Structure 1
Amino acid sequence: MLYRTLMCLSACLSALPHAFVLFLGRILGNLYYLLIKKQRNRAIAQMMSALQISQDEAEHLVRLSFINLAQNMLEIMCLPKLNKDNFQNYVEMVHLERLRDALAEGHGVVVLTGHIGTWEWLSASLALADIPVTAIAKPQPNEQYTRALNDLRATVGVEIFSRGTSELLAAGRALKAGKILGFLADQDAGPGGAFIDFLGKTASTPMGPAVFSRKFSAPVVPIFIIRQKNGRHKLEVHEPMRYVDTGNADEDLYRFTKEMTQLLERVIRENPTQWIWFQKRWNTPPDARKEKHHVVKTDTK
């Protein structure tokens, strides 16, 4: 029932003018900010701590981030409206040649991004630009919602592998086949992550991008999509990042993960209304760290 409801909602939203969808997002975002006290207060507190700003400033920016998130969610439902002929009406792609050149090396490409802007439109835009896109994503708690989301992604040619399952083997095969493999690397990684300073506080950080880059000799290309004031999106491809092998895999993986985390942090600081501030990014304390062969230390900064 939920699946059919979501797909029906997607069809209705996709038929509406994009400006009206954004207008609905502004209404829903403001309502969400006013009604969902727990997430609002967590977002404000975390933003105040991370950006060292006043409560008034944080309240203003968090409200805008809630509006942006609501617009993102509605735009995700509108994925079926995107096609090869119209997607560039909504998304400006900058330095796409950097990604194409990295793919031409023949080892696949690990794409580094986060829950910044309308991240689902990032992968959709790449797929519609004829770049073979796969991504690792965390399954949603509700199976029908996960199914609907994956079916919406499939309408634009994006293939999803579930995090923490045997599908990771298929993700590796995708890299070997010369495709891109995307990671949303800004979530809490639990006791097995690398504990690195992130926005002023130590956070358990996913090591997947570094691990896959090392294993498959694949360059890491950071890509972010940022909503512009006119409602369109700017998708910017950064210069490739490289795993450096010094012979100490633990230290090398940690250092590379830290380098990528610092870039993510910089993008968030530059675009504070584009990130999800209420997520439990710092949920795992450093003393819960689980020793693994590729996790060797905690950032003490």
Structure 2
Amino acid sequence: MRTAARVSDLGYAAAWRLIRLLPRRWALRSFEIAADRAARGGGPDQLRRNLSRVLGTTPDAVPDDLVRESLRSYARYWCEAFRLPSMDPVRLAETIESSATGIEHIRDAVARGAGVVLALPHSGNWDLAGVWVVRRLGTPTVVAERLAPESLFQRFVRFRESLGFEIIPLTGVETPPYDQLIARLRQGRIVGLLGERDLSGAGVPVDFFGESATMPPGPAKLAIETGAPLLPVHCWFTPDGWGFDIGAPIDTTGGVTPTTQRLADRFATGIAAHPADWHMLQPLWTADFSAERLARIEARRSRSR
């Protein structure tokens, strides 16, 4: 296991050095070829199951073309991630701003001085949304899942810090991430969270595309406790660039559960509009969870009662 993790780390290190040296067209084409190979035989089962919920059909009825385009979109994200350190951030911010909608929502929120919670699904290139925030509004604070080995985790931390982000590890820190995020918001700072995948196993039950799922309570809790606006952000790819939409503030009345449901509904709208750009290859719906994971969730809920 350690050997495999080390090989993975070295692979990422090589990609960050080499992919940026290739012409953009060559780099993208090489990643597309890899995605097309992954799509052979129907593609990853979990991706197909997830897309079937978005389309309201069965996994077998999900078009093969959509699975292939989804894998190409995911590959494009990684290709751009490896090339980002050599891309011009000023020009990127200008390009993003020219195509983004709803920018007034985040500017109005920043002007209030109460901090801002940006919640995003794993769609399009969310790192570029952060690049725009850095160039136009200041340093955003984001939470990073701790990867193994530690060298790989630190490599991703350095990558996002090079873009201008402040990184708070999800685990392994003296001060809990939630407390640190509360402090940043009370300083009037911007916090960005990927918000549809529950990593803790203590998520909020929501209805997502008509089925039961769980989503992290963090975005709703932070907004409710600090009074910071909760803005849903959606990112997607266009043939020649990127699309971004910053939604109007989420209504936080009624507590964490209804607020998280409203956020899930906004996510669903964006994902349905751009299903190929939603990079979710892991189980998200309760029906796909293993018996072991369901037992852990129930144990946590029992302890919190």
- TM-score tier by shorter-chain length is 0.7 to 0.9
2:206–2:261 contact (8 Å) kept in structure 1: yes
2-side partners of 1:291 and 1:162: how far apart? Answer: 24
Change (3 A) 1:108 1:291: same
SS of corresponding position for 2:233: strand
* Aligned counterparts of 1:86 and 1:17: Cα–Cα separation in 2: 18
2:85 to 80, 83, 89: 80
Q: Which residue of 1 aligns with 2:32?
A: 26
Comparing both structures, which one devotes a greater share of its residues to helix?
Answer: 2
Q: Deviations over 1:175-225 (max 9, x none)?
A: 122111111111134542111111222112110001101111100111122
- 2-structure distance, mates of 1:95, 1:285: 38
- Work out the number of aligned pairs and report it: 286
Partner of 1:150: 157
Change in CA separation of 1:266 and 1:22 when aligned onto 2, cut-off 3 Å: same
User: 1:236 — aligned with what?
Assistant: 245
**Aligned pairs for 1:86-101 within 5 A:** 86-88=91-93, 91=96, 92-101=99-108
TM-score (norm 1): 0.84
Question: How far, CA to CA, are the matches of 1:171 and 1:116 in structure 2?
Answer: 23
* 1:170 corresponds to: 180
- Distance in 1 of aligned mates of 2:196 and 2:38: 23
Of the three residues 109, 113, 119, the one matched with 2:120 is: 113
AA aligned to 2:56 is Q
Tell me: CA distance 1:41–1:4, structure 2 relative to 1, closer, same or farther (3 Å).
closer
Identity across the alignment (%):
20
1:223 aligns with 2:233: yes
Task: Give yes or no for contact 1:227–1:274 (8 Å, CA) kept in 2.
Answer: yes
Cα contact 1:161–1:167 (8 A) shared by 2: no
Amino acid at match of 2:109: A
Which aligned pairs between 1:1-301 and structure 2 lie closer than 5 A? 6-34=12-40, 40-53=44-57, 55-88=60-93, 91=96, 92-164=99-171, 165=173, 166-168=175-177, 169-230=179-240, 232-244=241-253, 251-282=254-285, 283=289, 285=294, 288-289=297-298, 290-291=300-301
Q: For residues 146 and 210 of structure 1, do their structure 2 counterparts lie closer, same or farther at Cα, with a shift above 3 Å needed?
A: same
Whether the 8 Å contact between 1:192 and 1:291 is mirrored in structure 2 is: yes
Task: Tell me which residue corresponds to 1:299.
Answer: none
In the alignment, the residues of structure 1 paired with residue 199 and residue 158 of structure 2 have an alpha-carbon distance, to the nearest angstrom, of 26
C-alpha distance in 1 between matches for 2:223 and 2:28 = 37
Which amino acid in structure 2 is aligned with residue 252 of structure 1?
G
| 8 Å Cα contact 2:147/2:153 also seen in 1 | yes
Q: Which amino acid aligns with 1:117?
A: G
Residue 148 of structure 2 aligns to a residue whose secondary structure is coil
d(CA) in 1 for partners of 2:137, 2:26: 29
Q: Secondary structure at the residue paired with 1:192? A: coil
Shift of 1:147: 1.0
3-state SS, counterpart of residue 291 of structure 1: helix
- Report SS of the residue matched to 2:90: coil
Does structure 1 retain, via aligned residues, the 8 Å contact 2:54–2:275?
no
Bigger shift: residues 125-134 or 253-262:
125-134
Q: Determine the C-alpha separation between the residues in 2 that align with 1:139 and 1:155.
A: 18
TM-score for the superposition, normalised by structure 2? 0.83
> Residue 279 of structure 1: SS of its match in structure 2?
coil
